Structure 1
Amino acid sequence: MNIVERVFSVAQAIYAQLEQVKCCRHQCQRLVERIQILLEPVRILRAQPRQHISHHEEELMKKLLQALGEAQKLVMKYSQTSWIQKFLRARSTGEEFVWVNESLEDIAQGLSLLLQAEQKQAFLEAFQSKTCRRQDAEDLRDDRAFLDQVIASTEEPNDVVEEIYINRECMESKVDWMQSELNKVIREMERLKKVNVDKREDITEIKRDHLTFHRHLQDTESYDLYEGEYLKYPVAIKTFKRPLTTDPAKVRDIFEKEIQTLKKFESPNILRMYGICIEEKDGSPCFSIVMEYCKHGTLRDVLNKQQHLSWDIRIRMALGAARGLYRLHQTGEKSRLHGCICSSKFLVAGDYCVKLSGFELCETESSIKRKAKKDWKRVSMLAYIAPENLKDINYPYKRPCEIYSFGIVLAEIATSKIPFEGCTPEEIMEKICNHHHWDPLGEDCPEDLRKVIEQCWAFDPSQRPSAEEIVDSLADLEKSRNQGS
């Protein structure tokens, strides 16, 4: 029996034993629920050929098996011991469950790499430190309440009852400690609430036979875009036409350097990259980039097709887009700029989760595709260019310039309109540079969203907010709407 099957075997034994638990039932039940969640990514490994399981994944399975062994001991212990023996003999009950639960949390971080971005976000939420601490404290309270009921009806001698109360006081102090630790975690999470950062899994070179091409999505002068599968995951595959170089070694070298940069990125609102595929046939290599598939297409596609989106969805999309930009701006010692922020650079996945794209592997792309004429694109991009850049071609492109562009994207989300639609380049420049004119947002636009957009549009770059401030404002807006509904 391989290690994955052993994991499932021990988990099944724990499930079966749960029905016999006589005490600490809430804590045991929570433990089993977390194990069930952890088995979701393990099922992905189970479906793969054994030779495809990496050394890192096998080590994770060993750690999980060890943690499951400890969990099994706990469940068996409390299914075989009466409640009174447990409370009189085991003053370390809290520590036992804390150790096992923390082990499962650590393992969850590693197993999350097997999941799609949207699955991963929901998966990790079940193992967030502040959530787990709160749940564990609640479970301990529930078990204590059960003890109170039993004490009230017990016919045990007074000295036994007194010893039970001593243990009860020990449990209460433990709950207080857990609550104190929980408050510390919550404060830290509030400080870091702007972005959820986890470790990005390795981006690698992908073999052609691991890719399945399905629907053809887009045909441009420089590439074809397909919906496909990579190891049973839905992906988008960008295959380049007329490559600039026919030297696979050169592309691989550039690719490896870029991977080091991309490893710094991880966010539910940054498009996930799987890797690059180099297929060599008859001396003519075919290059493809494999990335996360977003079923709704670009943000512009969504706004064109769904004109009557609710404000809750629009605000959710605005906040997701802002978080993606914030993650980009705050990566590393020096901020990184996108350079081409517009509504077509944001993709929309399930549940209207917005992801920033268009910057990953840009050097690799430029090394394998021929330059296409982009005069038509310059016209459509003028609406996103900050006034200072329009007035002075030599003005340095900085974060406030990108915030201006993002403000235009936010206005699109609020109105569904194409910015300055029907205007000539000259008219666009005249309106932006001389009249500070933008299309109206509409009377029904929430006031807090309107305020954020107008701040991004400030003619003076120093008056524009940072991406962090935008995230804070939109998060507060979303929270207030949720509380009001």
Structure 2
Amino acid sequence: STSISYASSFTPYTGSAKTFTLLEIERATNGFKTQNIIGEGGFGRVYHGILDDNTRVAVKVLTRDDHQGGREFAAEVEMLSRLHHRNLVKLLGICIEEHTRCLVFELISNGSVESHLHGIDQETSPLDWETRLKIALGAARGLAYLHEDSNPRVIHRDFKASNILLEEDFTPKVSDFGLAKAASDEMSTHISTRVMGTFGYVAPEYAMTGHLLVKSDVYSYGVVLLELLSGRKPVDMSQPPGQENLVTWARPLLNSKEGLEILVDPALNNVPFDNLVRVAAIASMCVQPDVSHRPLMGEVVQALKLV
């Protein structure tokens, strides 16, 4: 049956990840109760769960049961079990039983950059400048690890504000590797693939050609940096004509004092101007249309440490 072939093909991939039974997962999520749903990610629904030892977890259930979904699941497990970094969400275990395939992650319970900038946490827990800098640096470190230090190196492919989860102290954790791809050894080479990122975050070369580069993630990171600077969404049709696309609107504003005064989030107070200039310069480099003008994530980390 398919479940046996899935199981046998996954055995080498589990690494340090524990294997859970379907019964354990059902118990943890109250039988996959609707009330336990905490989100929908690439290829799966995510449930809040409590394991028998009282560990709180996020259970991602793969909803697609086609061949592509099976490949995605295998890729995700293989990769995640090898990745260990304080700015990446940690995979605790997997469940492959009958037609159910689940990934069990540590639960990061303080929302996401998206929820704090644009969503339910915006009113109760807005992000101050220091917190935004902390998030920018931590998320950059997570991506730099994927690109430059993990083996194999990994392109995230769907980096966005809702995929940066926050701990109680606002330490960022990059999540949702459902679309991630291992990069080839040559940092400059591209992977041709179906374009599957999120509108507003996808780099122009990837959107137009399906050519995926490590630096396509850098572009997406730049979009998130612009969100942190401006408080605006990547695409917002409620903005005045010409301002709907964040990158198009922000790019000309990033290089002048007057421009930055227009760009900066009105919710932010007392941002040191030299800080603003430095972060804006980094964002400007990350969203360059020409790939060769974008920095590597390791360079972004070094630049942010100087802010």
Tell me the TM-score normalised to structure 2 length. 0.68
Structure 1 letter corresponding to 2:29: F
Structure 2 letter corresponding to 1:266: H
Paired residues of 2:94 and 2:104 also in contact (CA < 8 A): yes
Paired residues of 1:237 and 1:291 also in contact (CA < 8 A): yes
Q: Which residue of 1 aligns with 2:190?
A: none
Say whether 1:313 aligns with 2:131.
yes
Q: Which residue of 1 aligns with 2:202?
A: 385
Q: Which of 329, 344, 352 is matched with 2:147 structurally? A: 329
Question: Secondary structure of 1:294's match?
Answer: coil
Q: Which of 212, 217, 226 is matched with 2:37 structurally? A: 217
Q: Which of 267, 281, 297 is matched with 2:85 structurally? A: 267
CA distance in 1, matches of 2:218, 2:62: 31
**Closer, same or farther: CA 213–415 of 1 in aligned 2, 3 Å:** same
**Closer, same or farther: CA 474–273 of 1 in aligned 2, 3 Å:** same
**Closer, same or farther: CA 286–386 of 1 in aligned 2, 3 Å:** closer
Say whether 1:347 aligns with 2:169.
no
CA distance in 1, matches of 2:72, 2:235: 38
Structure 2 letter corresponding to 1:317: I
Quick check: which has more Rg, 1 or 2?
Answer: 1
Question: Secondary structure of 2:84's match?
Answer: coil
Structure 2 letter corresponding to 1:458: Q
Give 5+ residue unaligned stretches, structure 1.
Answer: 1-199, 364-374, 478-485
1:248-306 Cα offsets, whole Å, 9 max, x none, are xx96x9867754433431101011111222344xxxx3332211111122221121223
**Closer, same or farther: CA 438–422 of 1 in aligned 2, 3 Å:** farther
CA distance in 1, matches of 2:91, 2:15: 9
CA distance in 1, matches of 2:249, 2:103: 42
Say whether 1:359 aligns with 2:184.
no
CA distance in 2, matches of 1:360, 1:399: 16
Paired residues of 1:264 and 1:331 also in contact (CA < 8 A): no
My pick for the range that moved more, 224-233 or 322-331, is: 224-233
Higher strand share: 2
Alpha-carbon shift at residue 388 of structure 1 (Å): 3.4
Structure 1 letter corresponding to 2:293: Q
**Closer, same or farther: CA 429–317 of 1 in aligned 2, 3 Å:** closer
Paired residues of 1:321 and 1:354 also in contact (CA < 8 A): yes
Say whether 1:226 aligns with 2:47.
yes
CA distance in 2, matches of 1:224, 1:259: 16
Say whether 1:410 aligns with 2:238.
no
Percent of aligned pairs sharing the same letter:
25
Alpha-carbon shift at residue 333 of structure 1 (Å): 6.0
Question: Secondary structure of 1:314's match?
Answer: helix
Higher helix share: 1
Q: Which residue of 1 aligns with 2:7?
A: none
CA distance in 2, matches of 1:407, 1:400: 10
CA distance in 2, matches of 1:460, 1:255: 33
Alpha-carbon shift at residue 467 of structure 1 (Å): 0.5
Q: Which residue of 2 aligns with 1:450?
A: 280
Say whether 1:297 aligns with 2:122.
no
Paired residues of 1:441 and 1:450 also in contact (CA < 8 A): no
CA distance in 1, matches of 2:285, 2:264: 17
Higher relative contact order (CA 8 A, sep 6+): 2
How large is the RMSD of aligned CA atoms in angstroms? 3.8
CA distance in 2, matches of 1:254, 1:339: 13
CA distance in 2, matches of 1:259, 1:432: 33
CA distance in 2, matches of 1:322, 1:447: 18
Q: Which residue of 2 aligns with 1:239?
A: 61
Paired residues of 2:226 and 2:246 also in contact (CA < 8 A): no
Structure 1 letter corresponding to 2:140: A
CA distance in 2, matches of 1:206, 1:441: 48
Structure 2 letter corresponding to 1:229: I
